[in-house]
Chain A
Amino acid sequence: MSEGHGPRAAIARGVLAENPITFQILGICSALAVTRTVETALAMSISVIAVLLGSSATISLIRNEVPRSVRLIVQITLISTFVIIVDQILQAFFWELSRELSVFVGLIITNCLILGRAETFAMRNGVGASLVDALGNGMGYGLVLLVVGATRELLGTGRLLGIEVLPLVERGGWFEPIGLMLKPPSAFFLIGGLVWASRSFALRAARQEDAVATSTSLVEDRA
């Protein structure tokens, strides 16, 4: 795993190397529930990114003022505030979408991903770094949701964002939609597959790095 510095490397870590879903196994609940279509997955991802940015920035801003005894309550209060604001905006401007997401917007409060970033990162780092970390993790979460959402919508209905991509049998095409893809368990299988794929990929990369490291150290030893 590369330990780079700077905002770019920090975002890349959140999206790939330390992806909240596939590596930290956080935020699974909503990833299972709202990934039936690309549209809901996208709306959920944007909501989570907005809440993450807001909560990380404010928590980082007051990190030196908050006594340890009340820090979790303060964090959850701030996170809830941003979740309520996002929920209200969805209800006002994206009514249909908010009905489809139903409780899962409210449940962002209990998404461990957000409290996790607040407690492990925003409480210890400056506002700028916390925003970058929030963006990286939010995008990492969003990427997994979109991949799962796209797979489920494509294989479950033959469409992407409501537009027909695979010609359906019932309209003279060849594609028979897979009903299972529209049910929550399919997200479970897909996320399991993603976790396995990305972890074994990372493991191989790490082994290669190790191999390179040992061979160079051997060379150094001999020298």
Chain B
Amino acid sequence: MSDDVDRAPKGWIGLRRLPRESDLRAVLVSLIVCLFCSAAISFTVSLVRPYKEANRAREQRARIEQIVRSTPGLAELIDTGGDAQLEVQVVDLETGRFLPDVDPGGFDPVTAARDPEQGIAIPPEADLAGLGRRARWALVYRVQERGRLRLLVLPVEGKGYVSIMRGYLALEPDLRTIRALSFYEHAETPGLGSEIENPAWLAQWPGKQAFDAAGEIRIAVARGRVDPGAPEALHRVDGISGATRTGVGVTQLLHFWLGPQGYGPLLARLAEERAPGDREDSR
């Protein structure tokens, strides 16, 4: 064919007319390889998406079950099939009211946050968790026994160092004491930030006080170790060395979701609803 083939004995199409080491050829070859690779990856990702979503749903259920099981006495209560049941409800975050008419099965907070109707933009100064948007409603899990709250499980999410971390915060019936914290999804640095999944680290959370006596949100991941003698030790959990930003992310997301933009209204309403006798108990 052409005579100007420069040390490219075999090849396809117009590329073979270019000299082997020309810049143009390097750019063209790189471009074609990139297009091919991105197409292959996009195709695979869209193909496996439904399976990964099913896996995530299974992981979420497993985490909630784990929290319920780890709460003393609760698993037996549910297993005996008495009045106590783990129920899921949709709650309006702004008013803090449950919406019994909304089917929880058809509500997905992640999609809802993106929806112009079902989601709202979080004011930047209030956006502690770095989410940008949130859904108007949330799915809340609770265990009640004869009309009295035994456990409240709240989905929480927020930005860590490199990823959105999603998990559950479980509160005791006094709505101040943390029962458990657990993450089911994140992509933090393996070995450092990923320690938020470590059961040993998570085991520090039960019993910590999310609020102080005045009702201020005080819970935080410390920098380094917590001094058990310090007055704020009640509100602190050891930091993860090498993952300061992940720890800050956990603190921020808890402050966001316990605050006025998150479950604040719901917690205030539930506290009001409690019988006066209960309130005496928890003091």
Interface, chain A (partner B; CB < 8 A): 62, 64-70, 73-74, 77-78, 80-81, 84-85, 88-89, 91-93, 95, 102-103
Tell me if B52 is interfacial: C-beta within 8 Å of chain A.
Answer: yes
Q: Which residues of B contact A92 (CB under 8 A)?
A: 48, 51-52, 55
Q: Across the interface, do A64 and B11 meet the contact criterion of CB distance under 8 Å? A: yes
Task: Count B interface residues, CB 8 Å.
Answer: 30
B21 contacts A by Cβ under 8 Å? yes
* B40 in contact (CB, < 8 A): yes
From residue B14, how far is it (CB to closest CB) to chain A in Å?
11
State A77–B40 Cα separation when bound (angstroms).
12
Q: Are A88 and B48 CB-contacts (below 8 A) given A64-B9, A69-B21, A81-B40? A: yes
Within 8 A of A (CB), among B134-193: 190-191
The dominant DSSP class at the B interface is helix
**4 other contacts beyond A91-B55, A103-B191, with CB at 8 A cut-off?**
A65-B15, A89-B44, A95-B58, A95-B59
Q: Which residues of chain B are within 8 angstroms of A74 by Cβ–Cβ distance?
A: 29-30, 33
Dominant secondary structure of chain A at its interface with chain B = helix
Contact (Cβ within 8 A) A69 B26: yes
Chain A residues contacting B30 (CB-CB under 8 Å) are 70, 73-74
Q: Does B34 contact A (CB under 8 A)?
A: yes
Q: What are 9 A-B residue pairs whose CB atoms fall within 8 Å in the complex? A: A64-B8, A64-B9, A68-B20, A74-B30, A77-B33, A88-B52, A89-B44, A92-B48, A103-B190
A91–B12 alpha-carbon span in the complex (Å): 37
Cα separation A68 to B19 with both chains bound (whole Å): 12
B25 contacts partner chain A, Cβ-Cβ < 8 Å: yes
- Residue of B at shortest CB range from A96? B55
